[in-house]
Structure 1
């Protein structure tokens, strides 16, 4: 494996920003110093660039197997590394749903051959697969996913006995999608009765309401406290939910944690007028007050990590009327640039961004030797020019679906280089198609 020397980078890591050199050998950071004079196969002059730990995205949907007309592990990991995301954790609502250990292994086999980013896959829980869930290995599987709300296939866990068994017996972290299905269906019936087929996207956050989210999230927290479950609630979308979480204990000691997503930090219900179904997600993008409260909770520690919930659909699927259009959209390629724009706007600092997208994700999931810029750790790194504008166009979108809710957005920063496990996976606008992705391991 080749050696790489990075010179004169503004390194943002563990609460500091300082100019440093890094020497990378055999995939790992061998030396960090203010001045290194070492022979290397490749030297990257990073003067004027900022160096971050690669983003670790704890929630993506890469659609393989079974839905590869929308996306696949190769295309979406390609988009990830182009955006500075070096590791991902992928969800089980593929086809077939990942409800057995064999189907879980099948996904790891695909990623081993095709992923440009480091990878892990959640084991899926259903009402009737507890035996398979209990076989999950905490060492090399990121967690167990429980849909406590609408999902595809057999993945809605709405049986009280099944939920109790999963929460009391799970061998590792449980991640939940929390929306109360009964509340959603009641709301939908009201709007259908009033508007028929003319229900519009503006009604989405009223149908998939704040109350539906809170009912489900609070139930998950109650179950976790009762059973001392290691619970992680995904994509918090309401101000009210932020009060469910603690911020007065170290992250390492938390049994219940939470995630915020880029779209809930960037958009509000005012954007449905211009973005339409292209910002249709579950849980829904809600009010500006919700958006601002989520950011506050990220900054004060009630919410622990930032991710994307990257979930592509084809342009044709998203162009259908509201009731037929699926929820979800591609975000992984532009997550870092969106966050850096928020830094420029004074909403958070570079150090806070790194904490919430890399350090905390590594701590929360107990990821082995990733998420920090440290000697001996894997070299998962991204170099960014904070003063080089970048406009999102159809031509530079790398997700297989070919569209983005950020299309025509000009960001203030450009991703210059991404290293994954010590290999240059993306440089100067070009994907280096090498087998850079490794399976994530966990210290548990």
Structure 2
């Protein structure tokens, strides 16, 4: 007796870790019930013909700032999740630098309660850490977070910086002891403070990159490598921007250190001359680097050095972006554009690469590897029987021009306005529900029934055999809070 499934996608090029196969998938409830070959489709309550387009696994954007709580004039979950769904993303992991920041493990449930009923996509959170909250890491449970974000430098919306090497040591030691993966904004604040003290801040965007140089990332990445070697801590460095950082981190991973790294679509799409031309629209931290760096990052994406692509979706309003150079905050919307920029860039740089291979590579860095690193393989990251029915129908050949009217982020603009993209998600399905349908001129969205996901602790290597591995440095001496807060405020990089 045949089973009548809830949803059947036929006529697809199904992207799996084993390659691309003609056929489709059938969904029962929220899970993938079967993957079938062409010509053998089961029956379903609803059947959609993909028309030979690709069926990608739902992407996992492990680096978003949806600004809840406290900064919802810039973004909120209703708009951020619409942008994600329109970009083929079905799961996001949100950053902790909100107001207040997420640094208390128990506050994760409170944040989830704020999001519930507003998100089209499923979600997790990265926990944060401040000088005063390091000991909180000891009671962090996987339900709350399996990862902790460390800012080694800061900016307008990231004031909680870990500068003291003793405190950083403690964080790495405790994270290793408790099986926590650290995700790091790895730029050295001391390097930037030295530059600030030695010269006037840039008056225009022609000097922006040189005022926020690659040396900050190189120094910080070197420190992270040393600490990973010392404690065996799992570390994932975010938004790597330079060829030197990429080369170092690839080498560290290849000798067996549990260190991985992310690249953003905007560091793959733009170069320093674009910052001079577009100004605050692509003002970022880390800054956009030169064409040589862009090329080396692409090489790392293609040779497997880059573990994940994350959007660093960090919107600011137009009014904030047109402030003076010293005051305009860094960041841009990106979750909707992540797949578009990655696919378009790959097609243009590697025109001889078969389309099937392009899609398998995208699925690897934007779905499969994020699921592996962030404890989601039991449900997410692949098109496989028993996993959540998360996928998008992707047309690889359509060519179109991005405009502000396409932008789903709350701020209503995109750094890619005027870009000609190749490829576009037509349909996004999250746990069996169509949450985005872009097949008509006016896109339609589903219901905001995204859920707070459970996750597993990362699978880590055995601790590094070292006298330091069990010796957690003591807390630093207490400092007067008023003086410390003033110093922190003065030294936050603009």
Fold similarity call, TM over 0.5: yes
SS in 2 for 1:443: coil
Given that 1:168 and 1:229 are in contact with CA atoms closer than 8 Å, whether structure 2 keeps it comes out as yes
| Residue of structure 2 equivalent to 1:269 | 272
Change (3 A) 1:410 1:239: same
Return the alpha-carbon distance in structure 2 between the equivalents of residues 42 and 416 of structure 1.
Answer: 17
SS in 2 for 1:437: coil
SS in 1 for 2:62: strand
Given that 2:433 and 2:446 are in contact with CA atoms closer than 8 Å, whether structure 1 keeps it comes out as no
Question: How many residues are aligned here?
Answer: 439
Given that 1:259 and 1:303 are in contact with CA atoms closer than 8 Å, whether structure 2 keeps it comes out as yes
Summarize the alignment of residues 162-241 of structure 1 with structure 2, pairs less than 5 Å apart.
Answer: 162-170=167-175, 171=178, 172-192=180-200, 199-241=203-245
Return the alpha-carbon distance in structure 2 between the equivalents of residues 394 and 154 of structure 1.
Answer: 30
| Residue of structure 1 equivalent to 2:452 | 439
| Residue of structure 2 equivalent to 1:113 | 117
Could you report, residue by residue, the CA deviation over 1:376-418 in whole angstroms, capped at 9, with x for unpaired residues? 1111101111122232222221100111100122212221100
Given that 2:320 and 2:328 are in contact with CA atoms closer than 8 Å, whether structure 1 keeps it comes out as yes
Given that 1:245 and 1:303 are in contact with CA atoms closer than 8 Å, whether structure 2 keeps it comes out as no
Given that 1:101 and 1:136 are in contact with CA atoms closer than 8 Å, whether structure 2 keeps it comes out as yes
The offset of 1:159, in angstroms, is 2.0
| Residue of structure 2 equivalent to 1:355 | 364
Q: State the TM-score, normalized to the length of structure 2.
A: 0.85
| Residue of structure 1 equivalent to 2:262 | 259
| Residue of structure 2 equivalent to 1:402 | 412
SS in 2 for 1:298: helix
Return the alpha-carbon distance in structure 1 between the equivalents of residues 307 and 61 of structure 2.
Answer: 13
Indicate which of 326, 343, 357 corresponds to 2:346: 343
The offset of 1:38, in angstroms, is 2.6
Greater displacement, 382-391 / 235-244: 382-391
Return the alpha-carbon distance in structure 1 between the equivalents of residues 391 and 129 of structure 2.
Answer: 33
SS in 1 for 2:56: strand
Summarize the alignment of residues 20-419 of structure 1 with structure 2, pairs less than 5 Å apart.
Answer: 20-34=23-37, 35-151=39-155, 152=157, 154-170=159-175, 171=178, 172-192=180-200, 199-246=203-250, 255-347=258-350, 349-367=358-376, 368-419=378-429
Could you report, residue by residue, the CA deviation over 1:336-382 in whole angstroms, capped at 9, with x for unpaired residues? 11111123214372221111111111112231221001011111101
Return the alpha-carbon distance in structure 1 between the equivalents of residues 214 and 371 of structure 2.
Answer: 29
| Residue of structure 1 equivalent to 2:490 | none
Change (3 A) 1:393 1:102: same
The offset of 1:139, in angstroms, is 4.5
The offset of 1:250, in angstroms, is 8.7
The offset of 1:140, in angstroms, is 4.9
Greater displacement, 38-47 / 426-435: 426-435
Return the alpha-carbon distance in structure 2 between the equivalents of residues 248 and 232 of structure 1.
Answer: 12
The offset of 1:52, in angstroms, is 0.6
The offset of 1:113, in angstroms, is 2.1
> Is there any run of 5+ residues in structure 2 with no aligned partner, and where?
458-494
Change (3 A) 1:44 1:389: same
Given that 1:111 and 1:119 are in contact with CA atoms closer than 8 Å, whether structure 2 keeps it comes out as no
The offset of 1:58, in angstroms, is 1.1
Change (3 A) 1:98 1:140: closer
Change (3 A) 1:300 1:342: same
Return the alpha-carbon distance in structure 2 between the equivalents of residues 357 and 15 of structure 1.
Answer: 16
Greater displacement, 431-440 / 201-210: 431-440
Return the alpha-carbon distance in structure 2 between the equivalents of residues 254 and 419 of structure 1.
Answer: 36
Given that 1:343 and 1:350 are in contact with CA atoms closer than 8 Å, whether structure 2 keeps it comes out as no
Return the alpha-carbon distance in structure 1 between the equivalents of residues 291 and 446 of structure 2.
Answer: 40
Given that 2:12 and 2:24 are in contact with CA atoms closer than 8 Å, whether structure 1 keeps it comes out as yes
The structure number with the bigger radius of gyration is 2
The offset of 1:28, in angstroms, is 0.7
> Is there any run of 5+ residues in structure 1 with no aligned partner, and where?
none
Greater displacement, 32-41 / 231-240: 32-41
